[in-house]
Amino acid sequence: MSVDKPPSVTYGSPHSGDAEPITFVHIRRRFDFRSIQIGRWVTRDEQVRAAGLFYGALVDLMHILQGPETLISLRGALSLQYGIGGRPGVAAHYDPAQRCFALAKNAGPGSIAHEWFHALDHYLGDKAFSDVPASMFASKAWLSDATPVAHPLNDRLSECFRCILLDELGDGPSELFRVSALEDRALGTVYYSQPEELCARAFEAFVQDSAIRNNFLVKGTRASAEARRGLYPQGAQRERTNAAFGRYFSQLGAALGR
């Protein structure tokens, strides 16, 4: 099922007593996502419940980032899927080839912030750096010493990556990077230490540490098993990273709001 074309339904205010229930059509209208697709096995009641949770999470994310709706949809470049395909054991994922954020049916809460940052990181790759392919994430481009596009916003973005990936002096790997690499070595894989994964987890921590609480948007950066193993920023590094993200999104939101 696709909701690319909105039906002729008039919605009241989501907060008014006579409003229609929030649907994925409403989400697409407000945020201008490129498309939203719903799996054929998702029932109407499941759609309504999921849409309400999505809507609340995306509105909260918009307020946390101090930006407009177009930031959430990446200027209409991002698509959403709910209950379509998926990967075994994976509640949510971002597909760079389709520029699509997908959430599995009945997936557990807390995945949106992580996957949304993957989408932003990918979207910014060939905008923040001048000599990278369109498929490269900005975080990976930064770590690969790609040529940055001169702009104050890109300077702020680089500051975020520096706080996440390097130590306080900027001349060695951060504690988060070091612990993540050890985790990968123990598991015999390369996942946690990938720059895009490190940065998505750091963004999760930034969102969870905000004044707005939404467990469907993010959870687990403090008390989960991964957090206890040090796979999210801790202590002083977390403070530096949160501050850097705050400066970046404040400036980005102001630029988009002009």
pLDDT tens, residue by residue, 117-132: 999 999 999 999 998 9
- 137: nearest Cα among 82, 203, 46, 86: 203
Span 10-36, pLDDT tens digits = 233 344 344 678 999 999 999 999 999
Task: Note the pLDDT of residue 17.
Answer: 46
DSSP reduced 3-state for 64: helix
For the chain, give the mean pLDDT. Answer: 90
Write down the domain spans for the chain.
24-111, 117-256
pTM confidence score: 0.91
pLDDT higher than 70, residue 86: no
Q: What is the pLDDT of residue 13?
A: 36
Closest CA to 216 of 50, 64, 45, 25: 50
**Given this model, what pLDDT does residue 134 score?**
86
Provide the pLDDT for residue 14.
41
What pLDDT, on a 0 to 100 scale, did the predictor assign at position 8?
A: 24
Instruction: Provide the pLDDT for residue 85.
Output: 62
Alpha-carbon distance of 246 to 220, in angstroms, equals: 20
Residue 249 has pLDDT above 60, yes or no: yes
pLDDT, residue 94, reads 93
- Residue 73 in this model has a pLDDT that exceeds 90: yes
- 188 pLDDT higher than 60: yes
For residue 7, pLDDT beyond 70: no
What's the CA gap between 124 and 142, in Å, rounded?
A: 11
Q: Which of 35-49, 75-89, 96-110, 186-200 has the highest mean pLDDT?
A: 186-200
Per-residue pLDDT at 69: 96
Residue 27 neighbours by CB under 8 Å, 6+ apart: 33, 36, 51, 54, 55, 58, 80
Give the long-range contacts of residues 183-190, CB within 8 A, separation 24 or more.
183/229, 183/231
Note the pLDDT tens digit of each residue in 134-174. Answer: 889 999 999 999 999 999 999 999 999 999 999 999 989 99
pLDDT (0 to 100) of residue 176: 98
